[in-house]
Structure 1
Amino acid sequence: MIRRCALVVSLLCAAPLAAQPVEFDPADFGKVILAPKQSAGGGGLTFEQAFGDYQNEPILTYGENSLPRRLGRPVGRLDVLYDNGKTGVCTAFIVDAQHILTNNHCIPGVGGAGVEAAQFVAGFVDGAQARGAEKFQVSTSPVETSVPLDYSVLRVFGDPSARFGKVDLAVEAPEDAELLWIIGHPQGQAQHISREGCAADDPAVSPEGKLVHSCDTLGGNSGSPVFRITDRKVVALHHAGDNRTGYNFAIPMARILAESAVLKAAVPVAPVPKAPQVDARCEAMLEAAPDYGCAGYETFLETCEAHPLAAMVSRHAERVCELEAAEDARRLAAVPEEKAPGAPAGAKPPVEETARDDAPPADPDAPAPVHPAVEIVDLDALSRDELEDWARKTARDIEEVLDDTGWARADAINAKILTEMFAEAMDENPLAAPARAAVAPHVAKILEIHAKVEEIYGARDLEDKRILARVRGDLAVIREGTEAAARKSAADLLAKLQLYKTERDRLSPLATEAKEQREAAMKAVSATLIEPDPGALAGLQFVMRERTTFFTEDELDDSSALDVAYHFLPAPDGHVAYLWCEEGNSKCQGFVQRDGFKFVAADYSASVLEPGKGATAADILNDRAASKVETTEETGGPFYPMRNGKRMTWTEKWDWDTDPEPEAIYRMSLVQRCCEIYATSNSGRRLVWEIEYTFETDNLQASYTDWFDPGLGWVISSRGRQVQTGTSKGERSRSINKTLRRVISRPD
């Protein structure tokens, strides 16, 4: 949500700029993987801020050729050694073959300390390994720097742009509420992106000239580029946050470009030719006239008769107005005529279209179709002020109608796309033959509905943007034009409202029917999918990559990434047994589950469990050191057959030793949702179930969404969050773990 910043301005004026970049062990300088020591900075204005639920995510979760990864290639980590023995980690980004841009408080730094050494680390995207990263030496003396604008242009040696490219800098100021991305190296970690809830405030720029934004950042994000997503250009240089107000701040690139000769050369701006000395208001009206169509040109000509281009514009305006009038007449002719309430019944117009031979006979007792009443307005009876008020309300009504129409069309398109994807996914699933037959009639109906929707929508030659531009043109004429012109524009406005209401009322029922058919298709899939045989898992192996981010009291502690191999073992009917092995570790943990997700036993000793040694479920169940689980209070089961909306609950009592009392009691809940499409790089689209899975104890709450592949009989992706509360040094503490799992190699 974009928040107003009236209060922020007064707080910001008095807040001290007292903070430093994240520190690391000086002995680690020159390494790619660092262990940050702390996030420096006191109260008030600091050089980073994360607010609410931290949403900065590893960029490695995106594909190699995805837009976030491509935008992030010129972005790297800046490691600094200061003369006073301090260290600092910031972010910088490549602007040309010889220069990078970062904050002044990173280099030369705050407090008067000199810089002993600095390096730029590009390509560091995987926190578990340094492979792919490259280090470049950086000059310790800025080429350009500014304390008020908190920027420094640094000389970098070795041309990192040859491999990693460079960013595009925006010369325009940030726009109010525009969507943003920030890419950087929080806490010196591998590259992260702040995307969720990341946007400029409204207004975007504070009175002090800073971009106010809601993107989550942490120490180490200083010097990060702020991308606007509309054109992928860097619109600002991130530099600070206020932990009292929950806002972050960046320096607009337009302000930096105004001072920086180096950056100006990197973004050559063509000189603007001098315009003739004419009325600035008329120039603005002429420039905007094409967006407003006929009304725009007429308003310009009425106001700016003396403009040197008035004669030429007049000839062009005549042609534009003729075309718009013809188009409006054609559209109004297609609108069914509505009778005013109480009007006498007239003769029915002749039917132009011949009746279909296969049409069913009319039912004389059937209720007449209900059409929304067309607004009856006596525009001539309204005063000029009343006419303006009515016009503003009507313009809002037209915008709402167009919005409803757009959503109706989107519903039909989404239904078509989803059913086509389901059909494709089922084609690749050998267990889905009955489901294909069940869903086929719904798919055919949705395709028919979509064709009707596109036919109705295709009859409209104008996009919403052009329609609203014409509406704004009508409003301008009603507000500023002559009396006759205002009355004519008001009539045009009323005609537009009637036209697009009719269009919406034709589309809305079709969209509703498309959604109903999509839901029926989902129900058919859920009811007819053949369930997998869990025994078929035995002998299979696949690898999942697990990435976990750790927080304490909402502050980032650490993050980790590891690859885990799952080796499935022979197990009794209705059970699944597997070894959970970290890559590179020959000893594994063993687990036995029954009925989908219910644990029976877990071997934490890893005493005899090695892949390929013939281990079975019995080995885990008979291991005296293994934890045994008692399942009670079961409702809603069993897991198979899977059904959409099925809810299961149970309680697990875990014993980790010989004590008869349970060590932990977990209250479990599971809901099955059918169905989703999951795309894999080596398996195409897969039809999967969404499993909402939660468990809790007295001090732990966890929620996961698992994507379960019925063709495999196991989870292929998972996203979850655990929140644990406890006591540390006599004080209550709260820790959060966020985990993302996905299969990176699997059998087909």
Structure 2
Amino acid sequence: MVYFRFVNTIVHRQSFWIGFLLAVLELTTAQGAELEAQRDGVIEAASYVTPDFSGDQNTNPAWQTEIEKLGSLYVRLRISADGVTPVEAVLRIRDRSGRLVREYTASDLLSRGSFWSAVVPGDYALVSLHASGSLQGFRLAIDQIAYQAHGGAPLSTVGIDEKEPIANYADDAVIARIERPVARLLFVEGGIPRTCTGFLIDTGELMTNNHCVNSQAACESALAIFGYQHDRGGLLHFGEQFECAKFQEERSSVELDYAALQLRGNPATIWGTLSLSGTDPAPTSGIFIVQHPAGEPKKISKKGCLVSAVPVDGRASETDFAHSCDTVGGSSGSPMFNASGDVIGLHHYGFGEGGDWSENRAIRMKRIVDELSHR
């Protein structure tokens, strides 16, 4: 099966249009499926470097630069620092409105080496270095910029696209509870920004697909963003970001296409966790999926959302069930729920044109629960 995703044109400050095409290739066979996480933008080389500092800093900020990618939905920066640790210094990143997105101390910067920053919503980032005392011997550089444009072809939509904003179900007690632990997952893999969905299953543990994040390197670039969604009035809330600290290889599986990531901090105290079911859904039963399709604000697919067949083959024999819920690239790693709000499946495959599978597929949570209990 081949998926192609077309990403909208981005306008740059130089007043000309630069069009780019992102193609996402998902080759899938009924056995040993090879899947690739949804591409989510591009990475460009950059050369923002602090000057050679000498003596005490008499002005603040000591250094500042503006980064803009007009038309982009977010910006991320690849940052590195080296040299002598200043007594007191902090790097601040703000969005176009002046809101502080993330703050890094100089000692934190030096301990991280090269790393991807927090996500700055929108198409502009203001980066400033503040210090009291000398910055002599300290150097900071931004050598890459990742940015996103809107994308998403409805290749795994069943008939009419019936995905809805999650706010449509704000009065549903079950859905209002279980949607909170679902996060938008952004990461870099193979030099490409990518997006999937994930959800909290324990204090700081996030579950997603193994074909999304399957290494410590990908984890170190990953951010889980909770609460990225529209409210009833249509206002978009960007949510709260948590960095990935560890890819838990012992709690991951290629065959069952799941991965567990340990996040920094404790997002569960605010966003809660989900219950994993050890029982398969019945064929033709009604289910629903909460997702971030194409990295978009949180949506739900509930209308016309049914189990088509269970069990069916996935990456191994009888690992999956087939379903008719509308999804799109980026929905990989989304939890699938029964009417009680228990997670009965982990979505990992959306059908397109041709290929060996003609339905959307989710891993049976029963298989994952059984494997985790033995591990």
Shared fold (TM-score, shorter chain, > 0.5): yes
Tell me the CA shift for residue 142 of structure 1: 3.0
- Where does 1:374-389 land on structure 2 (aligned, <5 Å)? none
Per the alignment, residue 191 of structure 1 pairs with 298
Per-residue CA shift, 1:270-297, capped at 9, x if unaligned? xxxxxxxxxxxxxxxxxxxxxxxxxxxx
Tell me the CA shift for residue 171 of structure 1: 0.7
Per the alignment, residue 123 of structure 1 pairs with 227
Query: Which of 315, 339, 350 lines up with 1:241 in the alignment?
Result: 350
The reply on whether 1:200 has 2:281 as its aligned counterpart is: no
Identity rate of aligned residues, in percent?
30
The reply on whether 1:258 has 2:365 as its aligned counterpart is: no
Per the alignment, residue 119 of structure 2 pairs with 31
Q: Distance in 2 between matches of 1:77 and 1:60?
A: 16
Per the alignment, residue 87 of structure 1 pairs with 193
Per-residue CA shift, 1:458-501, capped at 9, x if unaligned? xxxxxxxxxxxxxxxxxxxxxxxxxxxxxxxxxxxxxxxxxxxx
Query: Which of 319, 330, 336 lines up with 1:220 in the alignment?
Result: 330
The reply on whether 1:211 has 2:330 as its aligned counterpart is: no
Per the alignment, residue 310 of structure 1 pairs with none
The residue type equivalent to 1:119 in the other structure is: L
What do you get for the CA RMSD once the two structures are aligned?
Answer: 3.0
Per-residue CA shift, 1:329-378, capped at 9, x if unaligned? xxxxxxxxxxxxxxxxxxxxxxxxxxxxxxxxxxxxxxxxxxxxxxxxxx
Query: Which of 227, 247, 259 lines up with 1:141 in the alignment?
Result: 247
User: Is 167-176 or 97-106 further displaced after alignment?
Assistant: 167-176
Q: Is the 8 A contact 2:121 2:238 kept in 1?
A: no
Q: Distance in 1 between matches of 2:322 and 2:279?
A: 16
- Where does 1:66-85 land on structure 2 (aligned, <5 Å)? 66-82=173-189, 84-85=190-191
Higher helix share: 1
- Where does 1:34-49 land on structure 2 (aligned, <5 Å)? 35-36=148-149, 38=151, 49=156
- Where does 1:583-732 land on structure 2 (aligned, <5 Å)? none
Per-residue CA shift, 1:167-207, capped at 9, x if unaligned? 11101122111111000100111100001110101x32215
Name the CA shift for 1:140/1:96 in 2 (closer, same or farther; >3 Å): closer
Q: Distance in 2 between matches of 1:119 and 1:224?
A: 16
- Where does 1:349-428 land on structure 2 (aligned, <5 Å)? none
Question: Where in structure 2 are there 5+ consecutive unaligned residues?
Answer: 1-27, 44-73, 77-117, 123-147
The residue type equivalent to 2:366 in the other structure is: A
Q: Distance in 2 between matches of 1:31 and 1:214?
A: 33
Tell me the CA shift for residue 222 of structure 1: 0.5
Tell me the CA shift for residue 13 of structure 1: 2.8
Between Structure 1 and Structure 2, how many residues are aligned?
A: 242
Q: Distance in 1 between matches of 2:265 and 2:281?
A: 33
Task: Describe the SS at the equivalent of 1:139.
Answer: strand
Per the alignment, residue 348 of structure 1 pairs with none
Q: Distance in 2 between matches of 1:120 and 1:114?
A: 13
The residue type equivalent to 1:108 in the other structure is: N
Q: Distance in 2 between matches of 1:164 and 1:80?
A: 21
The residue type equivalent to 1:100 in the other structure is: L
Task: Describe the SS at the equivalent of 1:96.
Answer: coil
Name the CA shift for 1:137/1:16 in 2 (closer, same or farther; >3 Å): closer
Larger radius of gyration: 1
The residue type equivalent to 2:321 in the other structure is: L
Q: Is the 8 A contact 2:36 2:212 kept in 1?
A: no
Tell me the CA shift for residue 22 of structure 1: 3.3
Per the alignment, residue 341 of structure 2 pairs with 232
Q: Is the 8 A contact 1:226 1:238 kept in 2?
A: yes
Name the CA shift for 1:252/1:133 in 2 (closer, same or farther; >3 Å): same
* TM-score, scaled relative to structure 2: 0.58
Q: Distance in 2 between matches of 1:70 and 1:182?
A: 14
Q: Distance in 2 between matches of 1:12 and 1:81?
A: 25
Tell me the CA shift for residue 64 of structure 1: 5.7
Per the alignment, residue 39 of structure 2 pairs with 22
The residue type equivalent to 1:224 in the other structure is: S
The residue type equivalent to 1:55 in the other structure is: E
Per the alignment, residue 206 of structure 2 pairs with 100
Higher strand share: 2
The residue type equivalent to 2:323 in the other structure is: H
Tell me the CA shift for residue 37 of structure 1: 5.5
Per-residue CA shift, 1:129-166, capped at 9, x if unaligned? 55471111112523422111110011012111111111
Name the CA shift for 1:114/1:91 in 2 (closer, same or farther; >3 Å): closer
Name the CA shift for 1:237/1:14 in 2 (closer, same or farther; >3 Å): closer
Per the alignment, residue 151 of structure 1 pairs with 258
Per the alignment, residue 98 of structure 2 pairs with none
Q: Distance in 1 between matches of 2:276 and 2:203?
A: 15
Q: Distance in 1 between matches of 2:164 and 2:120?
A: 19
Larger RCO (alpha carbons 8 Å, 6+ apart): 2
Q: Distance in 1 between matches of 2:169 and 2:120?
A: 21
Tell me the CA shift for residue 114 of structure 1: 4.8
Q: Distance in 2 between matches of 1:79 and 1:51?
A: 26
Q: Distance in 1 between matches of 2:173 and 2:183?
A: 18
Tell me the CA shift for residue 248 of structure 1: 0.3
Task: Describe the SS at the equivalent of 2:310.
Answer: strand
Tell me the CA shift for residue 66 of structure 1: 4.3
Per-residue CA shift, 1:224-267, capped at 9, x if unaligned? 000011x2100010000222354100101111112225xx89xx
Q: Distance in 1 between matches of 2:290 and 2:267?
A: 17
